[in-house]
Structure 1
């Protein structure tokens, strides 16, 4: 059975009911702070709390702006706070059909509405006709009884029909059984009541976890025992006695098979400590399966009194949790003073492993089919640790549906945006929840954009070998030139080398640092200004780049002195000037008004792009309002419509360039 939709509201900041589709595995609520993500989770939690502690309270939960008018009708006509729709899987459908002789079809759904007076209404539709047909085929019935049953439209009608005929003993026995079956329910459709009886015991319930449920560094066990006793004596006020930190420690003790009363009984200290330590070791191992930030951590437990401490820690034994870091020679620190991320992860495992047994403070057994509601999980985790935690959520989703909130791009699978629901707080409307990403505020979907950007970056740099260039012009020229060199019988750029435009020489250092950290092989090709580039020299000195992997355009300008720095050069200077001017004139033919720029028009200089810009200035020709010309427009024209072949000198230059890059990488 899966939750497939939740209709929430009016509830707190949700002024109008929001119908939200729920994914069968994981649903992600993305939105800004105070948008209403937690409100949605809290509504679900109150509807079907697995621990049985949550209730709807109009004073706390009904939208405040309409509270007064609502309370006038609350007693007689309470509104729906949450409506949940579930879908059965085929195994459950087959079981019901077999047990009750129904003919429920695949994809069967039903709904439950939870009202503000904490009652509920069931919406379920089951045809009684197949059940009536099965009853009519009961062996031993008289022909009159069979005929009466077949006339009936409902089970209650069948009961009335049988009461109006002459019956034999078998008919009377059948009638008695049918009467008992019908009288169990006050529903008009008895079969629907019986189906609900099957479903109600298997209904998934909600478990909510947030930062408030973290384990404390220490807790007084005598005080905890008193609180548990008070909770048992007054279950209606149990939540006032048992706060989240107490519940977290009770969960840890329960997992260790330790009763709170053991600390005041005959059970020895070593036995109690051994039990709790065993669970702590097991949980630490589970954490480290997904926690890859520091695998030298472990949780230690101690149980001892301290008469010198402040109340209540000076009365009876205290439970102490500490984290040992083997990386720092076994230094231990209090649990609640360590990394917030590790604390969250460990506390979550304690909470989840324990509440699967579903025990409230008074010890009553609860339900074990769960929908997990996680409020900002992994918020304190490093970005890569959040990616690790996503793997853990996927593991949880194998057995339980998970709904979680986030505004971190690293807590969203960019290839599963169908699982995302955006949450916005709109003026005069309140919280709005939707799967329509295109119509959402840019600030709301920023985490999704960032997630996509990260995914794009990862896919762009998946090659083991990467050539960093300054911009898209270099990318266009190199790809086209490589194809032309290969067509002439030479060797182009190796196929497994990815060309990465970084947006200028100033960004090279950043890209080298980021990509090099991923263990990728890098080379750099840059324009040459006529003097050494200090940033690149710094990368070489820091051993982030090998000197043999850094190239500039001037080193390939003269085929007779390959590898030697010469005059200031751009990649455009590796082409024959006449060829380059031909593409320039083609791109800007309209602006040039039929008067192309010739090589003889160019002033003296080393770099053709600057020579062209100076010629345009001299001729007072504006090909674009800002002056100069768009270098990439010429590169794009070259790459989309390259020449049939290059001259021998140009081929020699690019052949040498590609050979050098391939060798360096």
Structure 2
């Protein structure tokens, strides 16, 4: 099962978060106190790998605390939708419903700990339309009239037809019928059946079949909701991914005072920081397969009265030796596992116990001397602590765990944060991952479609949205949007500082399409760029001149400019060629150059059928699909706008970016092999010009 979206309600600062769409990696971006943590915690508590107990004094919203405390079973705090395609076959067998309505499952958890399972695509019927019921009876009438009756059944046929006709008339104008109405009709019809029909009768079996149809329809209406079937509930809840939550508060210290640890691990009144630390320590000692009190006991020295007791001395020696061997074994195991997981360092870990103290020592190939963990970088402390939680709490079921990381890498250098972002990308091959941040270094400017903005709404509650512009009306107080803008700015700066090949485009939708095409062409081995190609947007043709002058860099080579072939693009191209690009006119490109018709835009680079399918899936409310009217060889955007106007669909501001984001996701999932050769040729021709 794969998480696709979730909604938090009535949890701490969250009244209703709105639906938060989830990718394989999802970044929740928000300023301090926006409530980012309060979106991760309820997800964790939906199905925690370990711990994650509900705590009324912490988790209940203060405004409705009394209401929830009085009736916790009435308040769901988390609802999550999952792609259940892998369970659809089993669910169909348990419910008798088609797989197509069972491949999405929604799971809610209430404050009493109970779960609600439902299937959003399944619409349970409790009545049938009058026309359907009358149609059932009319079909029977027609067939009764066409069946050859026995000689002695002449009057019987008329009686049965009259009974059916009478019930059909009683249905007319009645509206939808429930199960009781259907069974009443069947009972009335049953009165017309002869007690001893002729064994060779053809009329009576057809009449009896109508009674069976009415009963079957009634049973269909009284079927339980699929989520209320106990076997279905057990299957779904048993297959729920486990959530592993980690925050910086849980980072390990290098020296651990065991009596203090024993005391804290038994307490239930710890604060947030102390509780997180205690949790990580529980995980650590679970990994070494020893508890703190066992370590203390195994290391207990000879007491004053035992000094002459040879047997006791030998026993104490053997216990200490056993403890040392176990700790060495755990250190070796951790070293091997961590090396397979974290490729950016060759670390060796060693656990030592001395009296009341437990220590973690670290060395690596560049610094072979052993150093206490606390004296190594906070980044390594974070990675080690998180890895232990991930490894132990998921209990080796890594593939079915979803990782929730709260403000990861805060103490890391900016470049290390960028490495952490790449690490998340690798980890996402086996696990979905959600993380909160306010750092622009953890926002991938090429993957803004997986970013969600977390902000405080007008009523003071926490909201989340994929619209990165949402939030405060005053742009000077844009909060998390600043981190996103900073990420974009750094993307542009890197094209100067790190030797990338910048190609200026008009807007973010161009960014999405060209990044997608670049990835597909590389995968198809149609291009092999020597430098990373980036697509900084000028945010409108008017800004193109300024952006070009900034990006010309120290060698004064003007970057490639790719513009639409529409009126604004043509005017901008003319201005540039008469101005800053006067001596480099060939570096101003138009989409028209690669499409063979005028007034083209970036969207026209995509195959018409593929683009039309994306439009139809995003704008489902149309009576006539766009794919029925789309024409190849003509600018596609004006066609979409004309079709939408004709269908009464209001295209939201920025709709082109939303479509570009969806097209990019679908194309990358589809892969280059599903695109025709002429499309790849056209794209390769464009990138050959870009790389010049």
- TM-score by length of structure 2 reads 0.50
Aligned equivalents of 1:84 and 1:423: distance in 2? Answer: 18
SS in structure 2 opposite 1:54?
coil
Change (3 A) 1:396 1:525: closer
Contact 2:118-2:226 within 8 A present in 1 as well: no
Larger radius of gyration: 1
Unaligned ranges ≥5, structure 1: 130-151, 165-181, 306-312, 359-365, 467-494, 501-514, 516-521, 527-550, 552-570, 572-629, 643-665
- Give the match's secondary structure for 1:83: strand
Tell me the residue number matched to 1:251: 283
How far apart, CA to CA, are the structure 2 residues paired with 1:248 and 1:497? 43
Please tell me whether the aligned partners of residues 49 and 207 of structure 1 are also in contact (alpha carbons under 8 angstroms). Answer: yes
Does residue 1:122 correspond to 2:172, yes or no? no
Partner of residue 273, structure 1: 324
1:382 paired with 2:421, answer no
Tell me the secondary structure at the aligned position of residue 33 of structure 1: coil
Q: 1:375/1:296 Cα in 2 relative to 1: closer, same or farther (>3 Å)?
A: same
Change (3 A) 1:432 1:242: closer
Secondary structure of residue in 1 paired with 2:467: coil
CA distance in 1: counterparts of 2:72 and 2:531, whole angstroms: 70
CA distance in 1, matches of 2:103, 2:453: 28
* Aligned equivalents of 2:277, 2:112: Cα separation in 1: 30
CA distance in 1, matches of 2:24, 2:246: 18
Shift of 1:84: 1.8
- CA separation in 2, counterparts of 1:280 and 1:122? 43
Partner Cα separation in structure 2 for residue 410 and residue 12 of structure 1: 28
**Residue number in structure 2 paired with 1:423:** 454
Matches within 5 A, 1:56-95: 56-57=55-56, 59-64=57-62, 66-67=63-64, 71=66, 75-76=70-71, 80-95=75-90
The residue aligned with 2:234 is: 197
Report how many aligned residue pairs link the two structures: 415
User: Is the CA contact (8 Å cut-off) linking 1:463 and 1:496 kept in structure 2?
Assistant: no
> Which whole-Å CA distance do the structure 1 matches of 2:404 and 2:320 have between them?
37
**2 CA distance for matches of 1:240 and 1:340?**
20
> In 2, distance between residues paired with 1:496 and 1:45?
43
Task: Name the residue aligned to 1:445.
Answer: 481
1:432 CA displacement: 2.0
Deviation at 1:423, TM superposition (A): 0.8
Q: State yes or no: 1:217 paired with 2:268.
A: no
Preserved contact between residue 290 and residue 389 of structure 1 (Cα < 8 Å)? no
| Alpha-carbon distance in 2 for matches of 1:82, 1:383 | 35
Whether 1:338 aligns to 2:369 is no
My pick for the range that moved more, 118-127 or 381-390, is: 118-127
From 445, 456, 474, the equivalent of 2:492 is: 456
The 3 A distance-change label for structure 1 pair 367 and 241 is farther
> How far did 1:238 drift?
10
Partner Cα separation in structure 1 for residue 273 and residue 553 of structure 2:
64
Cα distance change on mapping 1:73 and 1:201 into 2, 3 Å = closer
CA distance in 2 between counterparts of 1:635 and 1:249 reads: 62
Partner of 1:567 in structure 2?
Answer: none
Q: Deviation digits for residues 287-331 of structure 1, max 9, x if unmatched? A: 5667677x47543321111xxxxxxx3xxxx2111334664562x
Match of 1:9 in 2: 9
Shift of 1:187: 6.1
Aligned partners of 1:640 and 1:248: how far apart in 2?
A: 61
Kindly indicate whether the alpha-carbon contact (under 8 Å) linking 1:45 and 1:54 is maintained by their aligned counterparts in 2: no
Q: CA deviation at 1:33?
A: 1.2
Deviations 1:618-662 (A, max 9, x none): xxxxxxxxxxxx9998545565599xxxxxxxxxxxxxxxxxxxx
Counterpart CA distance in 1 for 2:401 and 2:388 is: 16
How far did residue 416 of structure 1 move? 1.7
The CA distance in 2 between the partners of 1:225 and 1:208, in whole Å, is 23
Which residue of 395, 402, 409 maps to 2:440?
A: 409
Distance 1:304 1:77, change over 3 A: closer
Cα contact 1:357–1:368 (8 A) shared by 2: no
Hey, what's the Cα distance between the residues in 2 that align with 1:420 and 1:638?
A: 40
- Tell me, in whole angstroms, the C-alpha distance in 1 between the residues paired with 2:532 and 2:422: 29
Question: Retained in 2: the 8 A contact 1:41–1:373?
Answer: yes
For the structure 1 residues 120 and 297, does the alpha-carbon distance in structure 2 shift closer, same or farther, using more than 3 Å as the test? closer
RMSD after superposition: 4.8
Indicate if the aligned counterparts of 1:277 and 1:301 stay in contact, CA closer than 8 A: yes
Which residue of 105, 110, 113 maps to 2:108?
113
Within the candidate set 417, 427, 434, 1:396 is matched to 427
For 2:354 and 2:277, locate their aligned partners in 1 and report how far apart those are by CA, in whole Å.
19
Indicate if the aligned counterparts of 2:455 and 2:480 stay in contact, CA closer than 8 A: yes
SS of 2:483 mapped into structure 1 = helix
Q: SS where residue 322 of structure 1 aligns?
A: strand
Task: Report the structure, 1 or 2, having the larger helix content.
Answer: 2
Evaluate the alpha carbon distance shift between residue 497 and residue 381 of structure 1 in structure 2; reply closer, same or farther with a 3 A threshold: closer
In the alignment, the residues of structure 2 paired with residue 452 and residue 241 of structure 1 have an alpha-carbon distance, to the nearest angstrom, of 34
State the 1:497 CA deviation: 11
Give the superposition deviation at 1:207.
Answer: 2.1
Structure 2: segments with no counterpart, 5+ residues: 126-177, 191-218, 299-314, 503-528, 535-550, 559-574, 588-692
